[in-house]
Chain A
Amino acid sequence: MERDERLAAYVDGELDAADRVAFESELASDPELRGRVERQLTLRRRLQAAFQPVLDEPVPLQLTLAAQPANARARGWRAPHWAAMAACLAAGVLVGRGLLTERGPLVARDGGLVARGELAGALEERLAADGPAPIRVGLSFRDAKGRYCRTFQSAPDQLAGVACRESAGWRAQALAAWSPGPEGRYRQAGSDTPAPVLSAVDELIAGPPLDAAAERAARDRRWK
């Protein structure tokens, strides 16, 4: 093996035990070789460090949806949204968890649940790119009726869901219990958005999700 290749194989952990021992004894007596190994190790570290943060970014919901297309459909299950919501979070649970109290994030109106308070504010105002916040908005898109819909994750309410904008406000289409990861950090959005919410998005979405510019424009038009 050529000298450079051996050096690379050493740095990449590709030498077998005997070759590694031989190489290390050369290293011990050759400062110039040690310097070259150090340069390669530094390069490896810089490359790793540059891309490591990508692993900790929340995965865009679109990608998660692409990975599990219509999994509800695959089972032939097309429940109306209310049934889906009831299945994952019974009304009693909503009440029991205080989500429907005066200070809760949702209020019953017109046979549905409409966001209020801070949740309503977040859905109305926040952009996906706004960064960490107790209530985070994820994907924004339009449904077949032309309504704007947005997914959200609320740490204070331990609730995730998708809501669509109607004249009465942001009406919940699906809700599921959700909690932020350990140490209060949001876990990967991809594996983290509860399945009932993903299914509802999958069922509602018409066309591609809004990109950052379209999201901002829709927000500035008050989602009309």
Chain B
Amino acid sequence: MDPIQRQIVDLLPRLRRLARVLAGQPADADDLVQQTVERALAARGQWRPGTRLDSWMFRIMKNAWIDETRVRRRRGAVLAPEEEGENVGGASARAAEARLEAAEVERAIARLPQEQRLAVALVLVEGLSYKEAAEVLGVPQGTLTSRLGRGRQALLAELEGG
């Protein structure tokens, strides 16, 4: 396996997490990861060694996700958050509770507009700095922080409301 493939394999858990924040449903999220990986390998010549591979792949994922949402919108597909409550039968009460809590957070994130969801995903979940996140999104830092601020407000309203 060549070094970039090895690094991509190592990044897969983080790519899956970011995809889950963006796409919501696990199957859609893994499709998004797959597209991202395929695009990255096809464009591997454009990655400059010495720069961060994770940021580069996050940018590819962002583009793939935006493309995908456009296609879905054209098809008129409705992106409804999946019904939760499956597979909790065998889990402990505490795990089930954590699952419900996570589902609530996921639903709140799914209601955010695309741009705010991206900012929230990169900074609050993925832990990127403002500078890194702005670079991934290809926007000025001020744009990133204002999207992040609006995303935060919306999430607080949603999550503290209930």
Q: Do A63 and B1 have beta carbons less than 8 Å apart?
A: no
Interface membership of A97, Cβ < 8 A: no
Distance in angstroms from A67 CB to nearest chain B CB is: 4
Q: Do A8 and B125 have beta carbons less than 8 Å apart?
A: no
Which residues of B1-28 are within 8 A (CB) of A? 1-2, 5, 8-10, 12-14, 16-17, 20-21
Q: Do A195 and B124 have beta carbons less than 8 Å apart?
A: no
Query: Which of A8, A63, A69 lies in contact with B152, CB distance below 8 A?
Result: A8
Please encode chain B, from 126 to 153, with 1 for each CB lying within 8 Å of some chain A CB and 0 for all others: 0001100000000000000100110010
Q: Do B20 and A63 have beta carbons less than 8 Å apart?
A: no
Interface membership of B96, Cβ < 8 A: no
Q: Do B129 and A63 have beta carbons less than 8 Å apart?
A: no
Evaluate whether A47 and B120 lie within 8 angstroms (CB atoms) in the complex, with A54-B20, A190-B12, A190-B13 already known. yes
Q: Do A59 and B13 have beta carbons less than 8 Å apart?
A: yes
Q: Do A48 and B1 have beta carbons less than 8 Å apart?
A: no
- Chain A residues whose C-beta falls within 8 Å of the C-beta of B106 in the assembled complex: 50
Chain A interface main SS type: helix
Distance, CA A49 to CA B160, complexed state (A): 16
CB nearest neighbor in A for B105: A50
Q: Do B102 and A57 have beta carbons less than 8 Å apart?
A: no
Chain B interface main SS type: helix
Distance, CA A53 to CA B68, complexed state (A): 25
Q: Do B38 and A46 have beta carbons less than 8 Å apart?
A: no
Q: Do A71 and B149 have beta carbons less than 8 Å apart?
A: no
Q: Do A43 and B1 have beta carbons less than 8 Å apart?
A: no
Q: Do B16 and A47 have beta carbons less than 8 Å apart?
A: no
Evaluate whether A55 and B14 lie within 8 angstroms (CB atoms) in the complex, with A12-B130, A47-B124, A69-B41 already known. yes
Distance, CA A195 to CA B9, complexed state (A): 12
- Chain A residues whose C-beta falls within 8 Å of the C-beta of B160 in the assembled complex: 39
Chain A residues packing against B (C-beta within 8 Å): 4-5, 8-9, 12-14, 39-40, 43-44, 46-57, 59-60, 62-64, 66-69, 71, 74, 131, 188, 190-191, 195
